[in-house]
Amino acid sequence: MKTSLLLLSLLFVVTTRSAYGSWHKYNHGVKNLISGMASMPSSTTKLFGVGLNGHLWERIWSSNSWHWVDHWVPPGMLLSGDKLESTPCVIRDGKLFVVSKKGRLWERHWGNGQWNWVFHGRPLNFNRQRVNLDPTKCVASRGNNMDRVFARGTDGEIYQLRWVPGLFGGWRWRAHFRPNGAGIRIVSGGFDVGMTGTHLYAIANNGQLYRFRLGQNNAQFLWENSFGRPSFTNLRSLSVSTRNGVTRVLVVSVRNQVHTWSGNPFSFSVGSRPNGVHSFGPAIILSKEFQHTCRGNAETMVMVRTPHTIYSMTLPGFAFTQVGSNHRPFIDEVPAVLQNPRCPKVFVVTNHGELVEFFV
């Protein structure tokens, strides 16, 4: 019976066709996932997410088949009443970070032939008090040749955990506070950075775009002045990617339109959105930008998620194609995409804890 169900799922073909061929849908099963999945760059496909029981789960393609791997929970976490919650942020093959429900940061890394847990705790704020991290999201970067993890505090400020090299080095917390202005706070989930980028970008509760520079050799930079917003609308979310030294900042307005920021204050492209997506409907979510080659086509692409549907969006032209849909809504803060040069794939999680894959 299981074999028959697997064959049926593999034969499911989305009716929409593109230059890449037909999109297929594959259900990886229910692991009671509560977070989105994060892809890990590796010689094989690896994805990581958090389950309802607070366990870290890995989905890996090995020996020509898919496998689930349970990484359990960090030591002592169950006794503390805490559990993992955020979508993991991956910094490299064999190293990822997760924020817990109580706002602590944990690291999972491969070393000495085994997986290990490292507790990084909470950062200090301006008043030297510990701040809980928002378990919605964390992002990782290796910009300016330094490993970094960013998270938003529940105070609406941005905090960085960075690796300082040297004899007396190690992981160090740094507070980046918030942009200037009375009452300005970074919105939950509203920050991002390219993996090799030199700036972190964020959206504040005034609906405008901000950034600060990632310093070299332990240097710290302050938030720059606001870069504004598109005409007659506020910003809600963003996606930042850096490829070949070039950073692209895509933003989504509260009208559900995708814009490109030009690099100058108050300079954004005309907004665009998929057909059938309404201005004041449920919010759309962008994946990271990625590039692939498939059937002779070389495309730069972003995946766009609505509650029930996935679209591909090619860049720079903002051409949308419906990839597929699901009767249960998706919950991902950021859809996981394969950034390898191959046919495009996207992995999303439903509110039933299922992992669903769309592929060509």
Residue 10 phi/psi, 5-degree rounding, is: -70, -25
Confidence band (pLDDT; 50, 70, 90) for 17? Answer: low
Q: Note if the bond before 316 is cis, omega within 30 degrees.
A: yes
pLDDT digits (tens, 9 = 90+) for 318-346: 999 999 999 999 999 999 998 777 899 99
Annotated domain spans of the chain? 30-176
pLDDT of 88: 98
pLDDT of 142: 95
Predicted confidence (pLDDT) at residue 296 exceeds the cutoff of 90: no
pLDDT of 7: 42
30-176, superfamily in CATH? Answer: Fucose-specific lectin (2.120.10.70)
Distance, CA of 45 to CA of 63 (rounded, Å) = 11
Predicted confidence (pLDDT) at residue 75 exceeds the cutoff of 60: yes
In angstroms and rounded to an integer, the radius of gyration of the C-alpha atoms of the chain is: 20
pLDDT digits (tens, 9 = 90+) for 160-184: 999 998 888 899 999 999 999 889 9
pLDDT of 12: 41
pLDDT of 339: 77
- pLDDT, mean of residues 142-154: 95
Confidence band (pLDDT; 50, 70, 90) for 18? Answer: low
- pLDDT, mean of residues 98-106: 98
- pLDDT, mean of residues 123-141: 96
pLDDT of 13: 40
User: What's the mean per-residue pLDDT of the chain?
Assistant: 92
Distance, CA of 159 to CA of 169 (rounded, Å) = 18
DSSP 220-236: --PBPPP-B-STT--EE
Predicted confidence (pLDDT) at residue 5 exceeds the cutoff of 90: no
- pLDDT, mean of residues 211-229: 91
Burial class (CB in 10 A: 0-12, 13-18, 19+), 90: buried
pLDDT digits (tens, 9 = 90+) for 273-287: 999 999 999 999 999
DSSP 106-133: EEEEEETTEEEEEEEE--B-TTS-B-PE
